[in-house]
């Protein structure tokens, strides 16, 4: 969405009504694509100023900051200098630089250093999306180093924090299995390249080579295709393989797993085929979760309707399971967190990170956003095989003082609000 359309989008939401509270950051890649398209390349000074103008427009409309997703093309072509320029615009009015870092695997520490540097140079507060140590060869070793790197930055005054979801699998598109350079001439050129057997032969060599300097190799980070599972084929031809690993899909089709993945990716276009990447270790998840500066987030989209039980499908359970799972598993079952700290990580901590002073706590004069749950009975039912199964133990949900869920069922109310960050620049 162009930055100029954001204010109108907010107004439309307010007119039609929404069931939940909604706020957003503005993607740095949105500014880049508008100004210079989706190919690789360094922007000119004039182009950088145009990108800054896009961010400024979004911030004035109420965006909470500027965000980046640097594993994905064409965002991966943005340099730290480019991002600092845009984050500086957000930082001038107390906005965030929220980042899906350039790497969450073997180059995690370098990616953290980049995020910290952007925060220090821009003056923007830094939020790391779903912090993880997604690299099987360094399980148990990389996360402690990452935590130490962030805490050192915090100790010298950098306003940096992170969020997390309670699962050992990430979920994203199959495009991340394709080396970054394939997208250097844009998406359409990449589609054509992936149909060339000679190109594929070279890409398979790069996949097997392991870590790459300019690409986050999530297949390698997961320990191979046996730990990458098709979650959403987005095509009737390959839907029957959902829930199976690409090692098994390749065997069933008589193809190399990489060929199977890229064939499925191409067949899904213009939609995005997705996969689960089992690349984290439970010990690392728990270690990060305990940090006082780590809040809870789903990293998932929402739906506008409940899902019939007979249609529950494969996918990542985080959209429907994250919050109840934190309490059921990490509070009740394992004692990783206290109930009080878990609730803080879901409410007042993220509210304060966004600069929301009227939400996040049960206090007179605060907005009444309340979830009523049975602490002993709450349980996530969403799994990788039934990713949209609703949780148990949640009775009522109140949004801005109005019942949105009663007895576990939606009331149809639209009491949500558009949340805007105040910015005058």
Q: Does residue 294 contact residue 345 with C-beta atoms inside 8 Å?
A: yes
Query: DSSP letter at 329?
Result: I
pLDDT in tens, 233-287: 999 999 999 999 999 999 999 999 999 999 999 999 999 999 999 999 999 999 9
Q: Distance between CA 129 and CA 145 in Å, rounded? A: 17
Query: DSSP letter at 391?
Result: P
pLDDT in tens, 396-422: 999 999 999 998 888 999 999 999 999
pLDDT in tens, 54-64: 999 999 999 99
Q: Residues near 229 by Cβ (< 8 Å), separated by ≥ 6?
A: 169, 243, 244, 245, 246, 275, 276, 278, 314, 384
Residue keyed to tokens 């149809």: 412
CA-based Rg of the chain, rounded to a whole angstrom?
21
Helix (H, G, I), strand (E, B) or coil at 126: strand
Say whether the peptide bond before residue 74 is cis (omega within 30 degrees of 0). yes
Q: Is the full-model pTM beyond 0.85?
A: yes
The distance from CA 251 to its chain's CA centroid, rounded to whole angstroms, is 31
Q: What backbone phi and psi angles, to 5 degrees, belong to 419?
A: -100, 125
Q: Which domains does the chain have, with CATH numbers?
A: 3-168+281-406 (3.20.20.140), 171-278 (no CATH)
301 band by pLDDT with thresholds 50, 70 and 90: confident
Residue-level length of the chain? 425
- Can you name the residues that pair with 160 across neighbouring β-strands? 126
Average pLDDT of span 103-122: 97
Average pLDDT of span 135-150: 96
* DSSP annotation string for 131-172: -----GGGTTTHHHHHHHHHHHHHHTT--EEEEE-S-SEEEE
Q: Residue 232 has which token pair?
A: 């959403």
Q: Distance between CA 420 and CA 183 in Å, rounded? A: 34
Q: Does residue 62 contact residue 425 with C-beta atoms inside 8 Å?
A: no
Q: E strand or H helix at 60, and its extent?
A: helix 45-61
Q: Residues near 327 by Cβ (< 8 Å), separated by ≥ 6?
A: 339, 342, 373, 375, 378
Buried b / exposed e across 287-307, counting CB within 10 Å, b at 16+?
bbbebebbbbbbbbeeeeeee
Helix (H, G, I), strand (E, B) or coil at 231: strand
Average pLDDT of span 291-296: 98
């Amino acid at each position: 969405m162009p930055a100029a359309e954001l204010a109108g989008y907010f107004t439309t939401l307010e007119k039609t009504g929404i069931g939940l509270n909604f706020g957003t950051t503005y993607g740095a890649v949105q500014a880049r694509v508008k100004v210079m398209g989706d190919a690789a390349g360094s922007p000119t000074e004039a182009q950088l100023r145009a990108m800054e103008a896009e961010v400024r427009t979004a911030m004035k409309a109420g965006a909470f900051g500027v965000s980046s997703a640097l594993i994905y093309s064409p965002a991966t072509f943005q340099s730290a200098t480019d991002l600092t320029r845009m984050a500086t615009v957000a930082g001038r009015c107390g906005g965030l630089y929220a980042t899906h870092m350039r790497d969450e695997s073997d180059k995690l520490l370098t990616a953290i250093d980049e995020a910290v540097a952007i925060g220090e140079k821009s003056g923007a507060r830094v939020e790391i999306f779903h912090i993880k140590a997604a690299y099987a060869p360094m399980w148990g070793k990389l996360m402690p180093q990452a935590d130490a790197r962030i805490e050192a930055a915090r100790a010298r005054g950098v306003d940096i924090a992170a969020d997390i979801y309670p699962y050992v699998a990430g979920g994203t598109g199959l495009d991340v299995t394709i080396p970054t350079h394939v997208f250097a001439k844009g998406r359409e050129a990449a589609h054509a390249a992936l149909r060339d057997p000679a190109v594929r032969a070279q890409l398979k060599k790069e996949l097997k080579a392991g870590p790459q300097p300019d690409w986050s190799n999530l297949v390698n980070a997961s320990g191979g295709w046996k730990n990458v599972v098709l979650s959403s084929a987005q095509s009737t031809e390959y839907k029957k393989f959902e829930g199976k690993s690409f090692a098994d899909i390749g065997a069933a089709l008589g193809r190399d797993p990489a060929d199977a993945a890229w064939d499925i990716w191409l067949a899904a276009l213009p939609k995005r085929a997705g996969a689960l990447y089992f690349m984290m270790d439970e010990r690392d998840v728990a270690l990060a979760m305990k940090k006082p500066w780590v809040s809870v987030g789903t990293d998932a989209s929402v739906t506008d309707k409940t899902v019939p039980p007979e249609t529950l499908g494969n996918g990542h359970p985080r959209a429907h399971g994250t919050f109840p799972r934190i309490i059921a598993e990490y509070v009740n079952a394992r004692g990783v967190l206290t109930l009080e700290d878990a609730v803080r990580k879901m409410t007042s901590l993220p509210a304060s990170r966004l600069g929301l002073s009227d939400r996040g706590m049960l206090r007179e004069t605060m907005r009444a956003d309340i979830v009523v749950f049975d602490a002993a009975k709450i349980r996530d039912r969403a799994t990788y095989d039934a990713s949209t199964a609703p949780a148990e133990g949640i009775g009522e949900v109140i949004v801005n003082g109005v019942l949105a869920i009663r007895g576990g069922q939606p009331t149809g109310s639209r009491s949500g609000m558009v949340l805007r960050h105040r910015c005058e620049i």
